[in-house]
Amino acid sequence: MADHVSRADAQHALDDVELRRRQIVAEIDVPTWYWWFLALGWAGLGLVTVAGDPWLSVVATVGFGAIHSALAPRVIDGRHGSKQLAVRGDVVDRHVAGLVVGFLVVLVAITIGIALLADALGAPEPALLASLIVAAIVLIGGPQLMALVRRRAERSARP
pLDDT, position 92: 57
pLDDT at residue number 137: 97
pLDDT of res. 23 = 63
Domain coordinates in residue numbering, the chain: 7-157
Digit-by-digit pLDDT tens for the chain (159 residues) are: 457 878 887 777 777 766 766 666 666 678 889 999 999 999 999 999 999 899 999 999 999 999 999 988 888 776 655 566 555 555 555 777 788 889 999 999 999 999 999 999 999 999 999 999 999 999 999 999 988 888 887 777 655
Q: Is 146 exposed, middle or buried, given 0-12, 13-18 or 19+ CB atoms closer than 10 A?
A: buried
3-state secondary structure of 27: coil
Q: pTM of this prediction?
A: 0.77
What is the predicted pLDDT for the residue at 138?
97
The predicted structure's pLDDT at residue 79 = 64
pLDDT given for residue 86 in this prediction = 58
Instruction: State residue 1's pLDDT score.
Output: 46
- Residue 74, CB-side half-sphere exposure with 13 Å CA sphere: 10
Report the alpha-carbon distance of residue 17 to residue 19 in Å, rounded. Answer: 5
SS (H, E, C) 78-129: CECCCCCCCCCCCCCCCCHHHHHHHHHHHHHHHHHHHHHHHHHCCCCCHHHH
Structure confidence at residue 10 (pLDDT): 75
